[in-house]
Amino acid sequence: MEAFSDGVFAFAITLLVLNLRDPATSSLSLFNGLKQAWPSFFALVTSFVTVLIMWMNHHNMFNYIRRIDRRLMLFNGVLLLFVVLTPYTTMLVADHISDADANAAAAVYAGTFFLLSLVWNGLWRYCVAGRRLLGAEITDAQARTITRQYSVAPFSYGAALVIAPFSGLASVAVILAVAGFFAITATISD
């Protein structure tokens, strides 16, 4: 299951470059085209880092999970759906961050991350319940630490979703801050 998941993460990262085009046109020089294309580069970098952090946390989570069952496979499949949606929702934000639809794009972005966090937490809590799928060497304290770390996401992404109709940029900033948190905790969890 982890090999399949790694393949989906790799596919999601590959999707990122599909929207990049030569920005030079008959009316724009390459330099001016690159200046106008900054949202696409922002989306590429942001999505790459976000998917990378999700992959790191997914890998860490499966350091604790030692068995799988069909429900876990289903949870994981739904989680991967949101992973592959990340490049699309990030592109929406990048394409609309400076126009009238910025708040709507940020709401879609935040809403997708909020749903992802619910699935992620559901997957983890399913595995932890009664130590159902955890390894015997995993302590209850370790499981509680991961549960606390993961619980940051639904509240933070929920806040980003509430903020989005008022300020798309502030909503995106909250989401990027959460990515920073999970980048740090992903490296500590090992």
Half-sphere exposure of 179 (CA within 13 A, CB side): 20
Residue in 61, 64, 87, 89 with CA at minimum distance from that of residue 5:
61
pLDDT for res 66: 92
- Give the number of other Cβ atoms within 10 Å of residue 16's Cβ: 20
pLDDT for res 160: 96
pLDDT for res 94: 85
pLDDT for res 15: 80
pLDDT for res 108: 97
**Which of 44-48, 55-59, 73-77, 177-181 has the lowest average pLDDT?**
44-48
- The predicted model gives 16-41 an average pLDDT of 78
| 7 pLDDT above the threshold of 60 | yes
Mark 164-174 as b/e (b = at least 16 C-beta within 10 Å). Answer: beeebeebbeb
In the chain, how many domains are there?
1
- The predicted model gives 125-135 an average pLDDT of 94
pLDDT > 90 in the chain, percent = 65
List pLDDT tens digits, range 102-119.
Answer: 999 999 999 999 999 999
The domain of 111 spans: 2-188
Mean pLDDT estimate for the chain: 90
